[in-house]
């Protein structure tokens, strides 16, 4: 995790905290450098190496010279740069509610950790009285290093009496950046979303729910008004990724998976799950945050029997408690019932 002085961290937090999902939505393979909010710039190398980005100070009275930024080694393809100081950092090293790559989460407390789960199994990421999100993990074993690697292939989201599937299609041997590798389904019915920027879908049964493309293919924003906002981006494991990280991925499967950004608006203080627990006011981080790769264990605690099953050991979904009848539970009912809108 990136470590700066308290003043620097506070400055970065103030600038980028509100712009997380905006910046993530801009970072698609179809674009190179994109302007972000304020003095925040997105660097997207689109597979190219040694690319640089030049920052200039837009303050009329400033005599500060420009500077040149490159992405850190931790995130060589996509990063954010704070101009005009050229401070660079990775999304997964800073933002709360983010999961990227070999499942690396940034909790609400700002600490980054790994949760490896297990190949072909499902784990509850967030579970609350009125909201439950499971993730399906795919993986690969590298016999040369005897290591197992996992990635999030799909999300199963439950709210009120509805279910939403957001996933990367399976089985593609090679990655075609022009093709759509995103699969969507609502209440067991496939969702067809036109391949155009800004294309939007919202079901009559849940008018507060929407899915909007922020790129022609592979990137969407999923929003349940007043409850959550999720940016999902389908990405592959490239030959270069495999070489650098020792994934041992063969030529028969590009292991398309999701990079995900979450923003929650109305969680209760009883929330749990791999990521959800970090939003509790009584959460105590017991991970070794100084380790190079802090790992959260307890897979059995978070394992669900299926992608839409709310039966992990810490499940909260559907609980008939005071929390369930609070603004969180009531809010979800309201945004999914057309008579309230």
pLDDT digits (tens, 9 = 90+) for 310-341: 999 999 999 865 444 444 444 444 444 443 23
Residue whose pair of structure tokens reads 């712009």 in the numeric block: 19
Residue 157's closest CA among 190, 132, 193? 132
pLDDT range class, residue 157, cuts 50, 70, 90 = very high
**Helix (H), strand (E) at residue 25:** helix 20-26
Q: Tell me the range of 58-67, 98-107, 179-188 where mean pLDDT is highest.
A: 179-188
pLDDT range class, residue 68, cuts 50, 70, 90 = confident
Length of the chain: 341
- Within 10 Å of residue 254's Cβ, how many Cβ atoms? 23
| 214-224 mean pLDDT | 93
The two tokens of residue 54 are 């030049």
pLDDT range class, residue 179, cuts 50, 70, 90 = very high
- Within 10 Å of residue 108's Cβ, how many Cβ atoms? 18
pLDDT at 292: 73
Q: What's the mean per-residue pLDDT of the chain?
A: 77
pTM for this predicted structure: 0.74
| 227-253 mean pLDDT | 86
Q: Which range (5-19, 67-81, 177-191, 194-208) has the least confidence?
A: 5-19
Asked if pLDDT for residue 21 goes beyond 70, the answer is: no
Q: Tell me the range of 86-95, 107-116, 261-270 where mean pLDDT is highest.
A: 261-270
- CA dist., res. 13 & res. 137, Å (int): 30
Q: Which range (22-26, 61-65, 181-185, 233-237) has the least confidence?
A: 22-26
pLDDT range class, residue 96, cuts 50, 70, 90 = low
pLDDT at 331: 46
Cis peptide upstream of residue 79 (ω within 30 degrees of 0) = no
340 vs 226, residue with greater confidence? 226
């Amino acid at each position: 995790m990136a470590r700066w002085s308290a003043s620097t961290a506070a400055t970065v937090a103030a600038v980028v905290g509100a712009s997380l999902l905006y910046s993530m939505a801009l970072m698609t393979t179809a674009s190179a450098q994109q302007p972000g909010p304020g003095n925040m710039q997105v660097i997207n190398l689109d597979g190219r190496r040694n690319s640089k980005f030049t920052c200039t100070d837009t303050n009329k009275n400033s005599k500060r010279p420009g500077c040149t930024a490159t992405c850190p080694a931790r995130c060589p393809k996509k990063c954010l740069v704070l101009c005009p100081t050229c401070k660079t950092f990775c999304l997964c090293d800073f933002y709360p509610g983010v999961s990227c790559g070999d499942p690396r989460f940034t909790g609400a407390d700002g600490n980054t950790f790994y949760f490896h789960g297990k190949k072909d199994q499902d784990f509850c990421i967030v579970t609350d009285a009125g909201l439950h999100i499971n993730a399906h993990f795919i993986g690969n074993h590298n016999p040369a290093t005897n290591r197992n690697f996992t990635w999030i292939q799909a999300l199963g989201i439950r709210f009120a009496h509805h279910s939403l599937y957001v996933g990367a299609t399976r089985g593609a041997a090679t990655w075609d950046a022009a093709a759509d590798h995103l699969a969507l389904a609502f209440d067991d019915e496939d969702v067809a979303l036109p391949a155009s920027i800004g294309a939007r879908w919202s079901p009559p049964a849940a008018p507060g729910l929407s899915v909007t493309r922020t790129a022609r293919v592979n990137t969407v924003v999923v929003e349940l008004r007043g409850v959550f906002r999720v940016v999902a981006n389908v990405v592959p494991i490239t030959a270069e990724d495999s070489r650098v990280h020792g994934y041992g991925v063969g030529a028969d499967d590009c292991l398309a998976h999701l990079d995900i950004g979450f923003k929650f608006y109305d969680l209760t203080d009883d929330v749990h799950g791999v990521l959800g627990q970090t939003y509790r006011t009584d959460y105590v981080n017991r991970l070794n945050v100084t380790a190079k790769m802090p790992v959260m264990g307890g897979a059995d605690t978070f394992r669900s029997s299926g992608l839409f099953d709310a039966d992990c050991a810490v499940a909260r979904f559907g609980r008939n408690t005071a929390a369930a009848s609070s603004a969180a539970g009531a809010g979800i009912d309201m945004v999914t019932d057309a008579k309230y809108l």
